[in-house]
């Protein structure tokens, strides 16, 4: 198998040319999506102006809550009384109404085995309700589609208009200052938030999977926010002008925590060589072509 070796890394072909296996000197080999080796990103929550209104950009990425595991729910439930003083008034009212249940039971991702956190003041409506779809027969759907086609077109148009509004809902844990209450609690109490905070909120927009030894972008991460925001803009030049670092560097804390500092150093060294045009991918993939 063709490979390229340096002092810090060995790289080998993956299953497709969009990926590459990067191995550190200790032998840890992680299948890595190539496009993240030259992508600028940084999460610096700040106030921005949308439709003439000043909002925190986190209102655009934390508006629908996030998907979390059962273990993560249990950990946060254990500290909920300490988190409550940091929450907005509408989040507290919601928690009282739902008896402190922080997740939506019906919104369960069976494939990933994850629940979604609640949003305040009302629950974010999800459209993927499979059970509801199964209850409606195919014939009914066809008839409904035919008789209501005009209405649906109008609704879609209205939806598009509505999408220009700033989201009214927010994750239960989003504070008045546009920060995550969990993040703030862990920081204030000297607890490592990279270890304790919900995984998806630590690693976004990356999908870091130590169990599979893979590192990639999350699916459709660049359409994740409610409006376009600079941090995941498709315009790399603009992000460079804004001084955003490479994602490998700004997300170092998460990559190191999940894979080790030694592996991050291998990734960093390879990324630099890759961006400098020193890597001959045709050589690596010559047996595949
Ligand atoms: S991910 Fe982007 S939109 Fe969300 S808080 Fe960070 S900088 Fe703001
Ligand atoms: S838990 Fe925190 S970071 Fe995650 S979506 Fe909610 S407010 Fe945002």
What is the rounded (10 degree) CA torsion for 212, 231, 184, 208?
0
Q: For position 250, what pLDDT does the model report?
A: 98
Tell me which residues have their CB closer than 6 angstroms to ligand 2: 62, 65-66, 117, 171, 173-174, 180, 182, 198, 201
pLDDT reported for residue 155: 33
Name the CA dihedral angle for 131, 137, 143, 149, rounded to a multiple of 10 degrees: 20
Mean pLDDT over 233-259 rounds to 97
Query: Quick one: pLDDT at residue 51?
Result: 85
The model's pLDDT over 95-107, given as tens digits with 9 standing for 90+, comes to 999 999 999 988 8
44 has a pLDDT exceeding 50: yes
Q: Identify the pLDDT of residue 207.
A: 96
Distance from residue 46's CA to the centre of ligand 1 (Å): 8
Q: Is the CB of 178 under 6 A from ligand 1?
A: no
211 CA to middle of ligand 1, Å? Answer: 27
Q: Which ligand is nearest to the CA of 233?
A: 1
> How much is the average pLDDT of 14-37?
97
Question: Which two tokens mark 109?
Answer: 């991702």
Assess whether the C-beta atom of 45 lies below 6 angstroms from ligand 1: yes
How many Å lie between the centroid of ligand 1 and the Cα of residue 34? Answer: 23
d(CA 173, CA 183): 9
229 Cβ closer than 6 Å to some ligand 1 atom: yes
**pLDDT of the residue at 222:** 82
Question: Mean of the pLDDT values across residues 180-195?
Answer: 97
The pLDDT of residue 258 is above 90:
yes
Whole-model pTM? 0.85
More confident position, 144 or 60 = 60
Looking at residue 124, its pLDDT comes to: 73
What's the whole-number mean pLDDT along residues 116-125? Answer: 89
CA of 232 to the centre of ligand 1 (A): 8
Q: How far is the CA of 75 from the centre of ligand 2 (A)?
A: 15
Q: What average pLDDT does the chain have?
A: 86
**pLDDT at 148 (0 to 100):** 32
Q: Sort strands 29-33 and 214-217 into parallel, antiparallel or unpaired.
A: parallel
% of residues, the chain, pLDDT over 70:
86
Q: What are phi and psi of 119, to 5 degrees?
A: -120, 150
For 142-152, what is the mean pLDDT?
32
Ligand 1 contacts CB of residue 174 (under 6 A):
no
Q: Whose CA is nearest to atom 7 of ligand 1?
A: 43
């Amino acid at each position: 198998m063709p490979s390229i070796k340096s002092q810090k890394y060995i790289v080998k072909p993956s299953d497709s040319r969009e990926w590459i296996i990067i191995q550190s000197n200790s032998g840890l080999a992680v299948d890595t999506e190539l496009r993240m080796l030259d992508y600028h990103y940084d999460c610096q929550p700040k106030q921005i102006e949308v439709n003439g209104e000043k909002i925190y950009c986190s209102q655009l990425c934390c508006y629908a809550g996030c998907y979390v595991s059962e273990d993560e729910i249990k950990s946060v439930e254990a500290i909920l009384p300490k988190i409550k003083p940091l929450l907005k008034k509408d989040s507290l009212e919601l928690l009282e109404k739902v008896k402190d249940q922080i997740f939506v039971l019906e919104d369960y991702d069976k494939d990933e085995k994850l629940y979604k956190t609640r949003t305040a003041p009302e629950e974010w409506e999800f459209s993927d309700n499979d059970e509801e779809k199964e209850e409606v027969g195919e014939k009914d759907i066809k008839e409904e589609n035919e008789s209501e086609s005009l209405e649906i077109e109008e609704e879609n148009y209205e939806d598009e208009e509505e999408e220009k509004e700033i989201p009214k809902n927010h994750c239960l844990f989003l504070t008045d200052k546009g920060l995550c209450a969990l993040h703030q609690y862990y920081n204030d109490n000297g607890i490592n938030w990279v270890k304790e905070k919900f995984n998806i909120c630590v690693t976004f927009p990356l999908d870091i999977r130590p169990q599979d030894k893979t590192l990639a972008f999350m699916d459709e991460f660049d359409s994740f926010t409610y409006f376009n925001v600079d941090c995941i803009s498709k315009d790399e030049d603009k992000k460079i002008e804004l001084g955003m670092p490479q994602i490998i560097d700004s997300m170092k804390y998460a990559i190191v925590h999940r894979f080790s500092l030694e592996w991050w150093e291998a990734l960093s060294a390879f990324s630099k060589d890759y961006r400098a045009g020193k890597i001959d991918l045709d050589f690596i993939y010559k047996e595949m072509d």
